[in-house]
Amino acid sequence: MTMETSSNASQKSKLRLPIMIGAFVIVIALVFYFVFEGTKNDITIVKAGEVTKISTHAKTVGEVLNDEGVKIGKYDELSYSQNAAVKDGMKIAYIPAKEVTINDEGKEASVWTTKDTVAEVLKDENITTRPQDALNVSLDDKVSANMEVKIDRAVALAIQNGAKKETTWTTKDTVAELLAEKNIKLDAHDKVLPAKAAKLSSNMTVVVTYVDKKTDEKKIDSSFQNCSKRRFFA
């Protein structure tokens, strides 16, 4: 063996040790990585219908949501307690609550809800409506944040429109508004009781009397003539 060959063998021997150490470190790191990843639990998070799949070492549901940046509010809906232990394959459903203002005939109340539709919110609040009542939204509408649900309650009353009488429901406030709703038009000499400015109430009767001016004038003229004749022959 020449001195040059011996030198090359020595250099290779010196390089082999760091390479072996590096390879060993990589193998150990890979083992730890796969063990670490393999011990994670696979979790599905459903947030307001949006599905997210994650793997986690978190021990509780609260830790999982915190890691995902989800903050649970007082009125939010969660399928598990925040202290519930995490299990592989767990499905965590989370519904954030929305604030809704309900204006029921001028009486306002703010509520927090996780319900999906207006009808479900009203049912949850023990508020019933009749088909004749007027709402600014549909009962089937989806609930949105800061939504206002306004309810105008209808009242049942009677209208004596000349010789015709009918019972009707209305959400109008005054007699004048009711007449406009029913397309009832009055001439200057026609009469309505109560007055047009009167507030409507349940079970009241609105009476419309049509006055024929020509007939009234003839009656007045006839009465005047009869009175004159009596005076003439007196």
What pLDDT, in 10s, does the model give residues 113-138? 999 999 999 999 999 999 999 999 99
pTM > 0.75: yes or no = no
- Determine how many CB atoms are found less than 10 A away from the CB of residue 95: 18
Per-residue pLDDT at 18: 67
User: 179 with 192: CB under 8 angstroms?
Assistant: yes
What pLDDT, in 10s, does the model give residues 200-222? 999 999 999 999 876 544 444 44
Q: How far is CA 53 from CA 46, 56, 98, 225, in A?
A: 9, 10, 25, 100
Among 230, 229, 187, residue whose Cα is nearest residue 211: 187
